Structure 1
Amino acid sequence: MQKIESHACFGGRQEVWQHLSGVLGCEMRFGVYLPPQVALGPCPVLYWLSGLTCSEQNFITKAGAQRYAAEHGLILVAPDTSPRGEDVVDADGYDLGKGAGFYVNATEAPWSRHYRMHDYVVEELPALVDAHFPTTTARGISGHSMGGHGALVVALRNPGRYRSVSAFSPIVAPTRVPWGQKAFGAYLGLDTETWREWDACELVAGAKARLPLLVDQGEADEFLDRELQPSRLQAACEAAGHPLELRLQPGYDHSYYFIASFIGDHIAHHARALKE
């Protein structure tokens, strides 16, 4: 791994690292915030998955999360949203290809060569983080929009691997909305039955663990009705008896202004679970 950025921040260090990913077959970058508590010993890790068009930079520069991570002694890890590089296939538009990995394992050519973001987030990246930084075994996961979808799906698909999960403005039912249908059709093929294993609303019904879900959604979000539809997740959780705290926030949109306003609540939510 190569460290390409390092900045003092709230008594800790905000760093960006680059490495060659065997899972994705390309160079990848991720941000890691090391709170001041790492000087005293290992700390729990909170993974953050960003949304469409984002890289590792959006969260670490806009969310203001380092302040709260320093207060609670959490390491923050923010990977890129998709594979990158000249030989990585891309598409026209912002919602497919680079910047739009959707945190699935693609099965369809030409995407399947590189687009395996689920395995990268769940397996390869944590192995690197645990090998290079002073971490405990306690992990949480969170994210925004496409990354909110990713956080929910990753937690639901991997019971016992994460102690906490939350999301901002998540795409809760990608099999039912245009963003998800476009991406899944390309990455996973036309058999829509296979899409269900990447849909939070479908996964809740068969979840082996009842990890509580914390979801914040802005009521002024321009994508609320067309792409996000949190009421679908609420109905699925009620039907399955799965714990969900869905907070609808009046006046807030889809931007990082929204995330910055409530990221402190989310980090506190994760800290409670990760330090038990």
Structure 2
Amino acid sequence: MEATRPVEIGSNKMFGGYNKRYKHFSPTLGCSMNFTVYFPPSPASPSHKFPVLYWLSGLTCNDENFITKSGAQRTAASEGIALIAPDTSPRGLNVEGEADSWDFGVGAGFYLNAKQEKWKNWQMYDYVVKELPSLLAENFEQLDISKASIFGHSMGGHGALTIYLKNLFKYKSVSAFAPIVNPINCPWGQKAFSNYLGDNKADWEEYDATCLLEKYHDVSATILIDQGSDDKFLKDGQLLPENFQAACKKHNVPVLVRSQPGYDHSYYFIASFVEEHIIHHSQALKL
């Protein structure tokens, strides 16, 4: 069995810091996993530790998409924040049907803990919330895991919001780009949840940000959401930001949903506003 300790498999200097890619064996998922960390330029004081900002990517992505396409490192470097980008699902398990469609299985873990036996390795919620932070704390003394925030895109925006709401004590802030905020009511979510979780709709609601606001609404930091007005998946009814906005209003949860005219669902959209998101998190992390 591979070592659970992370092994560096790539390194590139960027804006004075380094993107470093690691491989490790995940006991939670039962397979080898990759993740990438952007370490800002080293501070003057060797005892200084960087707060961390987790990024959760969307359908079909892995740990590299955000790192190579977003340009987020420029602001992370100036703000002194480490970016953590995990993969989006287990890989290499060769479960029958895992690669049959782009919106389920490999690249589509939905940041939940699957209940169906066939998909028992799909435990991305525990990987992101428990295993990865422990791994980082044990192996990277320059990171301050106690100061953490989380954001993501599409399926990853869904993951960021649900993880934040269920773990308000762990994360200082949350934001999302075009998140799937009400998956029990959209085709992507219904496909994933029925396969991963089974037919019990109460299990589905545990991974639906709009539903979770019924139970977890003691939110102090403003939730920031950007949504492109020309997003194909908005028009197809996959994202449903109005449902989440209504639930926030009902429970007096502070939220800022910004409709960005002309933008689509791509990384061009993310790159255009990622600086504002990182500053949003930086303010919360430095309180």
Q: TM-score range by the shorter chain?
A: over 0.9
Q: Which runs of 5+ in 1 are unaligned?
A: none
Match of 1:256?
Answer: 267
Q: Which shifted more, 154-163 or 253-262?
A: 154-163
Q: How big is the shift at 1:26?
A: 0.3
Q: Considering fraction of residues, name the structure with more helix.
A: 1
Q: Which runs of 5+ in 2 are unaligned?
A: 1-5
Match of 2:20?
Answer: 15
State how many pairs are aligned: 275
Q: State the identity as a percent.
A: 53
Match of 2:3?
Answer: none
Q: How big is the shift at 1:38?
A: 4.9
Distance 1:23 1:39 in 2: 37
Contact 1:205 1:237 in 2 (8 A): no
> Where do residues 82-161 of structure 1 align in structure 2 (5 Å cutoff)?
82-89=89-96, 90-112=98-120, 114-133=121-140, 134-136=142-144, 137-161=146-170
Distance 1:43 1:91 in 2: 37
Please report the RMSD computed on the Cα atoms of aligned residues, expressed in angstroms.
Answer: 1.1
With normalisation by structure 2, the TM-score equals 0.94
Distance 2:101 2:147 in 1: 37
User: Is residue 2:269 matched to residue 1:269?
Assistant: no
User: Is residue 2:59 matched to residue 1:46?
Assistant: no
> Where do residues 206-245 of structure 1 align in structure 2 (5 Å cutoff)?
206-210=215-219, 211-225=221-235, 226-245=237-256
Match of 2:211?
Answer: 202
Match of 2:180?
Answer: 171
Match of 2:192?
Answer: 183
Distance 2:19 2:44 in 1: 15
Contact 2:217 2:253 in 1 (8 A): no
Contact 1:2 1:18 in 2 (8 A): yes
Which amino acid counterpart does residue 82 of structure 2 have in structure 1? Answer: I
Q: Which shifted more, 80-89 or 96-105?
A: 80-89
Distance 2:104 2:179 in 1: 17
Contact 2:24 2:33 in 1 (8 A): yes
Distance 1:104 1:66 in 2: 28
Distance 2:40 2:32 in 1: 26
With normalisation by structure 1, the TM-score equals 0.97
Distance 1:196 1:212 in 2: 22
